[in-house]
Structure 1
Amino acid sequence: MFKTIIVAARDRDRLADITAIATRFGLDMLLARLGLAKSEGTETGDPPDLPTRTRQALEALGPTYVKLGQILATRADLLPEPWITEFEKLHSSAPTLPFETLRPRLEEALGEPPETAFARFDPVPLAAASMAQVHRAKLHDGREVVVKIRRPGIRKTMQADLRLITHLAGIVEASSREARRFQPQALVKQLLDTVLEELDFTNEGRNADRLREDLAANPGVVVPVIHWRFSSETVLVIDYVEGIPPRDGDMLRAAGIDPATIADLGAALVLDMVLVNGRFHGDPHPGNLLCLPGNRLALLDLGLIGHVSARRQQEFLAFILSLRSGDAQTLADTLIIWSQGSTPSRDRILSAAEQLVARHGSGPLVLGQLVADFFPLLRKEGLVLPPDLALIFKALITMDGVLGAIQPGFDLSDALQKARGRLVMNRIAAAHSPEKTVALLLELSRISDEAPRLLRALTRKLEQQDAPHGFSDAAVLKAAKWLAGAMVATGIIIAGALMLT
């Protein structure tokens, strides 16, 4: 209670805004269900427009709440389709600001006026979002760039929002059994990480550099260059890329771009990011992708990057491949691994896996249709996906939808089969990296050094007393031969490794 008073006092102005907006959009019943308001006890079900009103309220509340809604849009394992559909409409658009409002921040970051820092700077905004505004410019070396400027005062407002949301998540988790399944504090932790990372534009710049390095071997993929000389926490200067969003196949063909080639490239790209590199674009919708001449694909807006552990890569690939091969047992095993400590009935999970195999085990693999069946089954069985896995599904579904729109009938199965081979080769390469080889050689060398001493000690022990109970002469002889063989094998391995080096 005392903590609530402190939080409310510190951020009372923002709390008053939130309360007023929630009331304006008629969210009293939703707040009651979350344990944040008293229930009148007159409502018997959700009004059909409640998801729409909630989405509108989140937009009115600003960027922090828009980010929260976008995270919830990835959680089809928690929310039914009407809510997911509404939250997917959330975007970070906002009214443009007069450039003179942004000028002090830009000049502070650049250390000089934009008119001298750049050969040309356009004060008319190219685009605006709730967190930043973008302007066109030209460097003195002739390169066309965009200048992304953080809105003034946005950090203070978002930090107040995060404090309030963090506190409210604890109340919700303690007071609402219905909301507890959503794991509100885990969702807020994901929101905190996302918002704090995106507030610092240098993180987006580093994401771009890392992705460009990951994808350097693929000439069909373009990641815009970051100009670090002009970039900072509040300003990001990026190469300007002109292209066509992948929304319509006819439009691409008219520009001399082959939709089928782009579809193959996009599928290989997202699978390589997720299953091979372990770092992927978290929201590859058409607004963040551009098709370029030469059938190339550019990745934009790299503020949200997902990371995949090697273990999760194996689990996800096992999920897809067991589904395609009709192996319901392995599919059920993977679902249980993803159950996050809950205790689902294996028989029920196996039944759900068999349903998925029956519906999606053959024919074209359309992730959107798979998820339309998969997530309701998760909700029915009370399974909750880990947040990182939900983001993987979201990225793959989004890209699958984009590719299906420009190339109807696109089948992800072939790309998945090819990705399996690349994943295996990547695992082999990682296992035999120079660092791991050196570590193995050091350990084998240690064993080789110790083996003669251990063998002499064993021999002396056997000479001094009878063999331990249960040891026959044959067993001792076998152990000695094994140890000698191990020494020889160690020497061969070390010699071979040195020759390879």
Structure 2
Amino acid sequence: MGYLAEFWLFVSRLATVTGLLVRALVSFRDRPAVRFRLFFERAGGGFIKLGQILALRYDLLPSHYTEELLKLLSRIEPQPFADLEQVFIEELGERPATFFRKFNPNPIASASISQVYRATLHSGEEVAVKIKRPGIDYVFATDFALASFLAGFIGLLQIFHSINLDELVAEFIIWTKRELDFKFEAENAEVLREHSRRHPNTIIPKTYLDLSTSRVLITEYMSGIERLDEVIRKLDRNPNLKTDLLHHYRIDLSQMAYYFIVDGMRQYFIDGFFHADPHPANVFLAPDNRLGYFDFGIMGQVDSRRLELLKIVNGIANHNLQAVSEAFLAYSKRQMSEEIELFRRYRRSDHAKYERILSKIEEIIIANFREELEYILAPWYEELTEEGKEFKSSAAAIFSKLLLKAESYSVYVPREMAIFFRSLIIADMVALKLDPQFKMIKAFKLFFQEFPLERAATIIEEKSHERELEGEIDPISALDYEQLVEFKAIERERLAAATERLSELVLYYAEHYEEIRKML
């Protein structure tokens, strides 16, 4: 597509989307939440995907908005098969009949990026064939630019004070670009499948890598399953569904609610590689209490820093808030370790004094943070003391308060950790649908029954050591003279930044605590 065509596509989409946005803002025909959903539905393209992401942001939007936006997960109109068949031919060189004994042209699923068809290989294996919608790359590229433009414009108008639209749109673009490449998704699926081999209650469909491309993905067809979004919808209409699933398929929804959380924690903490988009349409239940996943475009990968979070979760599970406070502090110190080490290296005459001051500041932080944690986590602990009562305390509210409180102590979690918290929030909302008496603390305890802290910590450390050995280099020996001069200049800049950050920290506590002032 030429630059002129791209420009006109952008202008045309801008006019369409802006008109729909204005209509959603000024119309009074429907409830605000319905108008919000209709905007994304009518805008189509990348905006449907953005609406689907917002449907899972329980930490940003009221529940009646997220409930309405969840309808976007299953309301995408399919395109004619002839359009999708052309994409298949362009990718694999032949019509589907060449590769399959049977191919049903009626889609079994239709999403904003692709459509899925059921087929049978000549070997007799049943497969699902996922084909990207034609021209969707151009549409999404235009919508990425358009969403960024609108986010900046709305930000100037200050319509949504509590939502960082630029950050939200940037995240939407990063993740959706990954989803647009099916090769990337196929590789993710195989990694997760390998990690899950030792866990028979977790199902990851097999991927046929030799038949898959960036626009066509062929996976094992899963029969006899119940997609979670369908289960949740049926539960609202049929109060006997829970009993029916248990009797006919040996699926205990209460047990599956807990397994859903425990398995997500296993992926994050034990494997360091996790499904970061576990919304109900991407998860299914199978007979004999098994749980599986679809769509592996949005995955998270984490390093050994997850060990600090593991200790935090363990402290929460055991109501050991002293340990939680110390783990948060250890994480904060790890974030500032480079600054502290630089300060020690170049400010040797001062560092003993600052060591004493920083040690005192640590004591203050732990004492204060422990009290605040007791208040934040109180709803979860109250649930444990009143078995059978439906509290429905929101993990979104508790995790959001926890992260905000950590930030007030200069503890900023990395992006992958924030994504994990968000995944837990999504899983918590799903678990509460499956079992209204679900308790997050109980799920934490079940995880540590399977993976005690010491065992999990050993696994994390061993895997981290293996990665370090694979990537180990000597950063200095590889530098020439000019690079050494540049390296020295960078060191000076880092020292200045380290000194400034440590000074700000000490100054803050000196202003609020007399004992720190006296030590200075």
**Equivalent residue number for residue 253 of structure 1:** 246
Once the two structures are superposed, the pairs formed by residues 130-145 of structure 1 within 5 Å of their partners are: 130-145=112-127
In the aligned structure 1, how far is the partner of 2:97 from the partner of 2:107?
15
Match of residue 424, structure 2, among 378, 386, 396? 396
Aligned residue number for residue 51 of structure 1:
33
**Equivalent residue, structure 2, for 1:354:** 374
Amino acid at match of 2:89: E
Q: Which residue of 2 aligns with 1:115?
A: 97
Alpha-carbon deviations, 1:247-304, whole Å to 9, x = none? 3422321323141554454343122012222222233344323332343222222232
- Structure 2 unmatched runs, 5+: 232-240, 337-363, 475-520
Q: What are the residue-to-residue correspondences of 1:435-446 with 2, within 5 Å?
A: 435=466
Residue type matched to 1:117 in 2? F
Aligned counterpart, 2:481:
none
Amino acid at match of 1:49: R
2:157 and 2:272 map into 1 onto residues whose CA distance is 36
Alpha-carbon distance, 1:353 to partner: 3.0
Contact 2:91 2:216 in 1 (8 A): yes
Indicate the residue corresponding to 1:453 in structure 2: none
The residue number in structure 2 matching 1:291 is 285
1:27 Cα offset (Å): 5.1
Is residue 409 from structure 1 mapped to residue 437 from structure 2 by the alignment? yes
In 2, Cα distance between the equivalents of 1:423 and 1:336?
Answer: 16
Q: Answer whether contact 1:367 1:400 (CA < 8 A) is retained.
A: no
Mapped contact 2:283–2:291 kept (Cα < 8 A): yes
Identity of aligned residues (%): 29
8 A contact 1:324–1:362 mirrored in 2: no
Deviation at 1:201, TM superposition (A): 1.2
Q: How does 1:190-339 map to 2 (within 5 A)?
A: 190-242=171-223, 243-246=225-228, 247=231, 248-259=241-252, 262-312=256-306, 314-315=308-309, 317-319=311-313, 321-322=315-316, 324-325=318-319, 327=321, 330=324, 334=328
Give 1:241 shift.
0.3
**Does the CA-based 8 Å contact 1:245-1:290 persist in structure 2?**
yes
1:328 CA drift (Å): 7.2
- What amino acid does structure 2 have at the position aligned with 1:67? K
Cα gap change, 1:170 to 1:319, in 2 (>3 Å): farther
User: What is the Cα deviation at residue 115 of structure 1?
Assistant: 1.1
SS state of the match for residue 116, structure 2? strand
1:369 matched to 2:393 = yes
Alignment of 1:23-62 (within 5 A): 23-26=22-25, 49-62=31-44
Deviation digits for residues 355-390 of structure 1 (CA, Å, limit 9, x no counterpart): 223322244399951436426757998989876445
Q: 1:108: how far off?
A: 1.8
Q: Structure 1 residues 67, 123: CA separation in 2 closer, same or farther (over 3 Å shift)?
A: closer
Instruction: Kindly name which structure, 1 or 2, has the bigger radius of gyration based on alpha carbons.
Output: 1
Asked whether the equivalents of residues 24 and 39 of structure 2 are also in contact (C-alpha less than 8 Å), the reply is: yes
Kindly tell me: are residues 150 and 9 of structure 1, through their superposed partners in 2, closer, same or farther at Cα, counting changes over 3 Å? Answer: closer
The aligned residue for residue 493 of structure 2 is: none
Paired residues in the alignment total 415
Distance change in 2, residues 1:145/1:283 (3 Å): same
Maintained 8 Å contact 1:149/1:235: yes
Q: Which moved more, 1:381-390 or 1:129-138?
A: 381-390
1:143 positional shift: 0.2
- The answer for the alignment partner of 1:186 in structure 2 is 167
Q: Could you tell me which residue of structure 2 aligns to residue 18 of structure 1?
A: 17
The 1:313–1:25 alpha-carbon spacing in structure 2 relative to 1, beyond 3 Å, is farther
CA deviations 1:401-457 (Å, max 9, x no partner) are 444544553444344235344554243234346748979x999xxxxxxxxxxxxxx
Distance 2:391 2:307 in 1: 17
Give, in whole Å, the separation in 2 of the partners of 1:368 and 1:356.
15
Distance 1:172 1:405, change over 3 A: closer
Counterpart of 1:34 in structure 2 is none
Q: Conserved in 1, the CA contact under 8 Å of 2:49 and 2:112?
A: no
| 8 Å Cα contact 1:227-1:238 kept in structure 2 | yes
Alignment map for 1:474-485 (pairs within 5 Å) = none
Residue identity opposite 1:99 in structure 2: F
Decide which moves more: 352-361 or 418-427. Answer: 418-427
What's the secondary structure of 2:78's corresponding residue? coil
Change (3 A) 1:377 1:186: same
Distance in 1 (alpha carbons) for counterparts of 2:64 and 2:468: 52
CA RMSD of aligned residues (A): 4.1
